[in-house]
Structure 1
Amino acid sequence: MGRSIALRNDRPQRYLWALPPVLALSLLFLYPLLLVLQQSLHPDTGGTSLQPYVDVFASPAFREALWTTVWIAVVATVGCLVLGFLLALVIAFVPFPGARAVARFIDVFLSFPSFLITLALLFIYGTVGMVNGLWTDVTGAGDGPFQFLATPWGVLLAEVTYFTPFVMRPLLAAFSQVDTAQVEVAASLGARPGRVVRRVILPEALPALAAGGSLVLVLCLNEFGIVLFTGAKGVTTLPMLVYSKAILESDYPGACAVAVVNVLLSVGLYGVYRVVSRRAGA
């Protein structure tokens, strides 16, 4: 009884402590979002209207950007899941010198900005990169054979390279909880490595795969730096469309309308990610 009264008395103080972060969040995050939403409802003709949304949804450029954003994000996520699972499997279950150092490097890699990875790929596979330069030096040709970085395949390569560690990190944590005795017993009973992976390891990894894949999908939907730095002319995603409308066309209501759609799509997928993470215990 006395404890419940004390908790009731502490409630106003707890609300008081929560007030500063709520105000900071509202000022730095919610208020700019409200400004974007407000601008998307005020066309250049004046007044309040849904016309910017009507114009955006009727635009072939928006539909193409939406499709490009979705398919690149989905394919990149699948690539990250496959590559991340294989690499995490090797690091966790195939003993080799430096495995711990590689696992620690993954944590450092997560802090790298995305454009840094894109620049590294440009130095290697770009039009005047190392590989093309070596080819022209050896063969005497005018151009090298690798010209894919300015295409959707270049964007996919950069996104898979950058976001794969985001899948590997939860997988390595999940693999550390796998009972190695089960793996050893299955192997001793004659199970092939593929069967051990399917029957013993994969079921334990599914929650981490789902959580990591959901997070990567959300990040790929909102990726801007990779698409911009690859210089892929035929690749226009929703973030790139916001940039072109606001900076190149000065169509701020249209840019804000596209941004609102992108935010709603991302928030919806983030909700899915949180549900999956909660079930996975992440």
Structure 2
Amino acid sequence: MVTDQVTAAAGPARSAPPDARPRRWAAPLWALPPVVLLALFFLYPLALVVQQSFRPDGGGTSLQPYADVFASVAFRHALWTTVWIALASTAGCLVLGFLLALVIAFVPFPGARTVARFVDVYLSFPSFLITLALLFLYGTTGVVGSFRFLTTPWGVLLAEVTYFTPFVMRPLLAAFSQLDTALLEAASSLGARAPRIVRRVILPEALPALAAGGSLVLVLCLNEFGIVLFTGAKGVTTLPMLVYGKAILESDYPGACVVAVVNVLISVGLYGLYRVVSRRAGA
């Protein structure tokens, strides 16, 4: 009797709410448009490049294009030039970017915020624009004087370090903005000097940002084409320049596709290595 009265006071029983969970078939449908666009505009052209790399000019399917390219001195020279310029540029960007980010983040000076915002704007500049600016300064008819090193590998190295350093600075500035300043004050109050504070407090916090920025710069340098082309460094042939030369100048499309496939494999391999190392390091 009491139970009936409580039920009547509570009113009529409400129907169970519909299942709020998304239906299982909804997720694949939402993922279908980007997958189709990715396959149409990226995977399909990439598959055509890989397919063409196995088709010599004589017809059929063969590994002969790979054998010809790997046996050529030009390919080995381009591979070595690409790797050492990319590694040297990445090292220069890491050192210079870390020092500049330290100054902007921790050294008080007028206009620090303006400089930090300029770094964001600088990232939108095309690479050839920076190269042209260097040519106007240090070219054969430049403002500063006639310096022919811009047409050498060292000129390419200077241009890449100048252009890609902000790609290291941006994640570093973001990491420094989240650093607890109380740690710096405590270290300073304990008598630690600036180099020790940088080495023991700031650098460990900046390592994930350095790894992210350095890996990005390394991949970009491996695939850089505009800087090498606009410096006019005729003796500097990288893998992207070799692709351009074989496809446009020599009309060797299978050879160009082979070099392009090698370049893609190197980039993907470096990205996979970065992912493995970052996971093991807990980044």
So what's the TM-score if we normalise by structure 1? 0.90
> 1:271 deviation in Å?
2.3
Superposed CA RMSD in Å reads 2.0
Residues 225-275 of structure 1 show CA distances to partners (whole Å, capped at 9, x for unaligned) of: 000000001100000000000001000000000000000111111223445
> Hey, what does 1:56 align to over in structure 2?
69
Distance 1:121 1:278, change over 3 A: farther
Secondary structure at the aligned position of 1:190 is classed as: coil
Cα distance in 2, alignment partners of residues 31 and 64 from structure 1 = 30
- Greater mean alpha carbon deviation, residues 151-160 or residues 171-180: 171-180
Secondary structure at the aligned position of 1:255 is classed as: helix
> Hey, what does 1:228 align to over in structure 2?
229
1:114 counterpart = 2:115: no
Distance 1:21 1:210, change over 3 A: same
Residues 81-116 of structure 1 show CA distances to partners (whole Å, capped at 9, x for unaligned) of: 000000000001001111111111111111111000
* 1:87 maps to which of 83, 100, 122: 100
For the Cα contact (< 8 Å) 1:245–1:251, is it kept in 2? yes
> 1:56 deviation in Å?
0.6
* 2:49 maps to which of 22, 31, 36: 36
> 1:277 deviation in Å?
6.2
Q: Where do residues 1-282 of structure 1 align in structure 2 (5 Å cutoff)?
A: 7=21, 10-132=23-145, 144=146, 146-275=147-276
Equivalent pairs: percent with the same residue? 82
Cα distance in 1, alignment partners of residues 164 and 20 from structure 2 = 48
Distance 1:191 1:82, change over 3 A: same
Q: Which residue identity is paired with 2:198?
A: V
Cα distance in 2, alignment partners of residues 279 and 178 from structure 1 = 23
Distance 1:125 1:160, change over 3 A: same
Q: Which residue identity is paired with 2:90?
A: T
Cα distance in 2, alignment partners of residues 20 and 57 from structure 1 = 39
Q: Which residue identity is paired with 1:27?
A: L
Cα distance in 1, alignment partners of residues 259 and 206 from structure 2 = 36
Cα distance in 2, alignment partners of residues 278 and 98 from structure 1 = 38
Distance 1:86 1:183, change over 3 A: same
Distance 1:281 1:173, change over 3 A: farther
Structure 2: which 5+ residue stretches go unaligned? 1-15
So what's the TM-score if we normalise by structure 2? 0.90
Q: Which residue identity is paired with 2:136?
A: F
Q: Alignment length, in residue pairs?
A: 268
Secondary structure at the aligned position of 2:28 is classed as: helix
Cα distance in 2, alignment partners of residues 148 and 47 from structure 1 = 46
For the Cα contact (< 8 Å) 1:214–1:273, is it kept in 2? yes
> 1:278 deviation in Å?
6.5
For the Cα contact (< 8 Å) 1:118–1:226, is it kept in 2? yes
> Hey, what does 1:135 align to over in structure 2?
none
Runs of 4+ aligned structure 1 residues displaced above 4 Å come to: 274-282
